[in-house]
């Protein structure tokens, strides 16, 4: 519910309010700390020649990969793109379109307006990042 400048209340500012409430409740009132903060990568590692494994810092959270978010990733140093992904525990395995052995960084920029995301179970979207790619 984003129009390029503002959000609608339902599905927009309302959701942002819930996200902020959960963070405040966790820090100030001893509320749950699970699925409160955005998915935040700890590392990115090449798996074989055509996959990247993102390991998230919050190991107890539940993560969701929405098909279509591939376009928001950029692999630096190799002529490949992200074609899909699957979540397992606190790891996201990204399938690449080809050999990425020369890749140096993975960038995630998110998006403006509505679309697909990598989120936690409460719908909090992944933070934008630029991470070096560790060798296998």
Q: What is the pTM of this model?
A: 0.85
Identify which of 98, 18, 109 has the alpha carbon closest to the alpha carbon of residue 50.
98
Per-residue pLDDT tens listing for the chain (136 residues): 677 777 788 877 888 788 788 888 888 888 878 898 999 999 999 999 999 999 999 999 999 999 999 999 999 999 999 999 999 999 999 999 999 999 999 999 877 667 789 999 999 999 899 999 999 8
Residue 65: half-sphere exposure toward Cβ, Cα within 13 Å: 21
pLDDT of residue 1: 67
Residue 3's Cβ-count burial label (10 Å; 0-12, 13-18, 19+) is exposed
Written in H, E and C, the secondary structure of 99-130 is CCCCCCEEEECCCCCCCCCEEECCCCECCCEE
């Amino acid at each position: 519910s984003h129009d390029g400048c503002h959000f609608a209340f339902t599905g927009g500012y309302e959701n942002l309010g819930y996200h902020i409430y959960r963070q405040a409740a966790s820090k100030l009132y001893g509320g749950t700390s699970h699925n409160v903060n955005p998915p935040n990568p700890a590392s990115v590692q090449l798996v074989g020649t055509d996959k990247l494994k993102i390991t998230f810092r919050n190991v107890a959270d539940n993560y969701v990969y929405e098909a279509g978010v591939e376009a928001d990733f950029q692999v630096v140093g190799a002529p490949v793109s992200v074609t899909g992904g699957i979540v397992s525990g606190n790891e996201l395995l990204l399938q690449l379109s080809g050999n990425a052995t020369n890749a140096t960084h993975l960038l995630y920029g998110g998006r403006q307006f509505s679309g697909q995301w990598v989120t936690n179970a409460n719908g909090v979207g992944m933070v934008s990042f630029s991470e070096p790619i560790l060798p296998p």
